[in-house]
Amino acid sequence: MNENTNAQQVVAVRKNGDGDIVELKLSSGQVVDYKQAQAMAKQGQIENVNVFRGRDGDEHLRSDADGRPENNLDNLPTF
């Protein structure tokens, strides 16, 4: 199970005009920008997401693969 009981979950996202996620709303109500969310995910502060290096060489945030499309970051409600 998750050893970090203080970890939050992403509950909503804000996208820019290109459809890219730029901010994430956490279960505490805190809103963080994309880079901040990446840092938090690396530290285990956000559940069910991970950071990976894409083909473009940049780091990206994504939902853990669990076979449930409804909790993918792109499918979360917007705020």
Work out whether strand 59-63 and strand 31-33 pair parallel, antiparallel, or are unpaired. unpaired
Q: Are 37 and 76 in contact (CB under 8 A)?
A: no
How far, in Å, are 17, 34, 56, 60, 78 from residue 46 at the CA level? 25, 12, 24, 14, 18
Amino acid at 22: V
* Entry pTM: 0.88
Q: One digit per residue, pLDDT tens: the chain, 79 residues?
A: 445 568 999 999 999 999 999 999 999 999 999 999 999 999 999 999 999 999 999 999 999 999 998 889 999 999 9
Q: Are 64 and 49 in contact (CB under 8 A)?
A: yes
Give me the amino acid identity at 17: G
pLDDT at 5: 67
pLDDT of residue 6: 83
